[in-house]
Chains A and B, each alone.
Chain A
C-alpha cells in the first residue's frame, strides 16, 4: 500500500510541477498595497480543538475590513505535514501555512515552497521567541507566532500532603529526582508517584540538548544524553515515576496522570496551562491547587530566580506559500506581521496559547485567566527563560531525530544499556546521515 501511495503522490507531484514552477521565483517583488478586497487562505489543523487559527484570522479581519482570511483544515498530528506536503507538491496548498514541525522546515525551504520573508522578520521584535533560529543562510522563510516552553507543573496539595517543600526555582535535576522520591514515599499511596515522565523522546532529550553546554545534534556525538537517561532510569527503577513500559503499554496520558493527581509533578510544555485550566473547569481533571516552576536545570549555574533558566521548546511558525498569487503577497506578509507581533500575541494569550512574543500584556492576560496559579514563581517560570529549539534548523534534523527516537525507546524500555544505545545511535548517524 505504501508503495502505491508513494507512487501516487509522485504522479500527482510530477503532473503539477509545471503548475508550481512559475510561482516560486519572483513573487516576493509584489509588495504594493492591493486596492480591492483580498482573500488569503491559511492552513491549520483540527479547528474544533485548536482555536488559535480562527482567533488570529478573526482578530486580523477586524482590523482589516478588506481582507478575508479563509481557513483550510488539515488533519492534526504527524498527518498534517504529510497532507500539506502533498498539497504543496501538487501546487494546491493555501497561501499561508503553519510550519508545524521545525524538523521539516529545511525540507520546505530547500524545496522552494516558502517565500523569503526576511523583510517581515526584520520588523518583528527581536525578543520574539525562536525568531533567530529560523534564519537559513541569512534569510528567513517562516516567523514564529507561538512558542511553547517546557516548565515544571506541580501539585501543591500533594506536596503538602507529603510534607515536601514546594519548588523555589533553585532545582537541578538531582533536586527534582530527590523530591520525586520523597513525594512517592510521603504520599504513600500505591498508585501515586512523585513524578511522571511521558513517553516522548523530547521529555529527556529536549532538556539534555538545551541545557548541555556545546551539545548539538549534527555533531553526531550524543554522549550528552547519558546523565539525563541515567537519572530517569534510576527514577523509574526506584518507583518514583511510572516505568516507560507502563506508560506505553497502558497508553497513559500526562493530562490524566497529573490532572487526576496520580503524579505530583510533570514536566510539560506551556500549552498544558490552557489544557489543565480547561480540564479543571470541565471536571475532566480534579480540583486541586497547582503551580508552575522553571524546568529543573543541569547544574546550579542557571538556577534561582535571579538567573534565566534554560529550557526547550520549538516555535510554531508561519510561512507564505511560494506559489501565492503576486497580488496577495503584501496582504499575506501583513498578516504574518500581525500574527507574530504584539497584537497577535495578545489575541492568542486570551485563549491560553503561549505566543512567541511574551510581554507584560501577554503575561497579564494569561495570569488573569480563571484557574491559573497566581504565585510569583509561576509567573517567573512563565515569563523568564531561555528557550532553545528541540529541533534545531538543519538539513539532517529529521533523520537524526528518528535515530534518537529509537535510542529513546531502547534505553527507556531498558532493552539496551545507555552507553551501548548511544554508541549505536552515533554509528547510525555516521552511517545514515549526511
Chain B
C-alpha cells in the first residue's frame, strides 16, 4: 500500500493537525517498532537457527549419506530408508514407541486432569499437594529410576509384596520381564510427567467462569454434568496444548527408558530415540541413525499436524 510521504507538510500548505502529517511519523514508527521487535527476537532466532533449524536441515542431508562421523559422508540416496524397511530392530523400536505413546498419552492426560480437578478445590494443604505432585518432574531421572527399580523388584519389591496380598500365582517381573517392562516404564513415565501437566490444567481451570458453574448448579446439573458440559469445553484450549505436548514428549521418550531398562530385557523397551542413540553413538553409523531420526521427526510433525487440523475443524 502506497502511503504518501510528506517530508514537510507545511510546504504543501496543509495545517499541521491534518491526518497526513501524522501518518508520516506513524509509518516510520511502525518500521522502527518492527526493527526494535526484530532486534529483540534476533538473539532467540539466531539460537533457534543455529541449534535447531540448521541441524534439522543437516539431519535430512546426512540421512542420505553413509556418514560414520570421521569424514567420508558419501551420498547413498535413499539406501538408508530402504534398509529401514527390512530392519527388524527398527520395526521393534517403532512398535514399542507407539506402544508407549498409546498408553502414556491417555493415562497422563487423565491423571494430570484428575489431579488438577482434585487440587483445584479450596482444600487445606492444596498448595503442598500440588508441590508434591510436581516434584517427580524436577527430580533427577537417575534417582527416579533407582528408586522405582527397587519398588519394582520382582522378589523383594514392595509393589509385588502388596499385589501378593490380594492375588496368588506368579507376580509380574516388571522391569526384568519382557511382558511387564513396558507397562512398568509407562507407569513411571506417567507418574513423572503428570505433575507438570497438572500445572497446565490448573492454569486452565482458572479460566473457567464461575458463573457458568453457578448457573448450571441452579439448573440442577450434577457434578458429572457440570464437568462434562461446563469445565471440559472451557478447558479445550488447554487440553489441546497438553495433548500436543504430551504426544511429542512420549514419542521422544529416551532418558527414562535408558536409565530404567536400557531398552531391555532383550529389545522389550527399545524405542526409536534409543535406537538412534545406539546406531549413532554406539556404532557410529550416523547416516543411518539420521534416517531413523528423520522418521521420528516426521511422526512427531505428522501427529501434531493432525491434531492441529482436528482442533481447527472443531473450532470452525
A residues with CB within 8 A of B: 1-4, 6-11, 13-14, 17, 20-21, 78, 82, 85, 88-89, 104, 107-108, 110-113, 243-246, 248-251, 398-399, 402, 405-407, 409-410, 412-416, 421, 424, 427-428, 431-432
Query: With A10-B55, A10-B58, A249-B152 in contact, do A410 and B178 touch (Cβ < 8 Å)?
Result: yes
B88 interfacial by beta-carbon distance below 8 Å: yes
Docked CA distance A405–B261 (Å): 12
Residue numbers in A under 8 Å from B178 (CB-CB): 410, 413, 415-416
Query: With A2-B277, A248-B149, A250-B149 in contact, do A413 and B176 touch (Cβ < 8 Å)?
Result: yes
Residue numbers in B under 8 Å from A244 (CB-CB): 176
Query: Do B284 and A107 touch across chains, with their CB atoms under 8 A apart?
Result: yes
Chain B, residues 143-176, CB within 8 Å of chain A (1/0): the string is 0001001101111110000000000000001111
Query: Do A249 and B176 touch across chains, with their CB atoms under 8 A apart?
Result: yes
B28 interfacial by beta-carbon distance below 8 Å: no
Query: Do B88 and A248 touch across chains, with their CB atoms under 8 A apart?
Result: no
Query: With A3-B296, A10-B67 in contact, do A249 and B175 touch (Cβ < 8 Å)?
Result: yes
Docked CA distance A428–B268 (Å): 15
Query: With A246-B153, A249-B149, A410-B266 in contact, do A6 and B51 touch (Cβ < 8 Å)?
Result: no
Query: Do B254 and A1 touch across chains, with their CB atoms under 8 A apart?
Result: yes
A409's partner among B52, B67, B266, B290 (CB-CB below 8 A) is: B266
B54 interfacial by beta-carbon distance below 8 Å: yes
* Distance between B165 CB and nearest chain A CB, rounded to angstroms: 20
Q: Which residue of B lies closest to A249 (CB)?
A: B153
Docked CA distance A206–B87 (Å): 27
B residues with CB within 8 A of A: 51-52, 54-56, 58-59, 62, 67-71, 73, 86-89, 146, 149-150, 152-157, 173-179, 252, 254, 262-268, 273, 276-278, 280-284, 286, 289-290, 293, 296-297
* Distance between B54 CB and nearest chain A CB, rounded to angstroms: 7
Query: Do A243 and B277 touch across chains, with their CB atoms under 8 A apart?
Result: no
Residue numbers in B under 8 Å from A243 (CB-CB): 155
Query: Do A6 and B276 touch across chains, with their CB atoms under 8 A apart?
Result: yes
Residue numbers in A under 8 Å from B154 (CB-CB): 245, 249
Residue numbers in B under 8 Å from A249 (CB-CB): 149-150, 152-154, 157, 174-176
**Interface residues of chain A: helix, strand, loop or mixed (majority):** helix
Query: With A10-B62, A410-B266 in contact, do A431 and B87 touch (Cβ < 8 Å)?
Result: yes
Query: Do B149 and A89 touch across chains, with their CB atoms under 8 A apart?
Result: no
Query: With A11-B54, A245-B154 in contact, do A107 and B265 touch (Cβ < 8 Å)?
Result: no
Query: Do A246 and B265 touch across chains, with their CB atoms under 8 A apart?
Result: no
B58's partner among A7, A89, A104 (CB-CB below 8 A) is: A7
Query: With A7-B58, A249-B149, A413-B265 in contact, do A85 and B284 touch (Cβ < 8 Å)?
Result: yes
Query: Do B297 and A245 touch across chains, with their CB atoms under 8 A apart?
Result: no
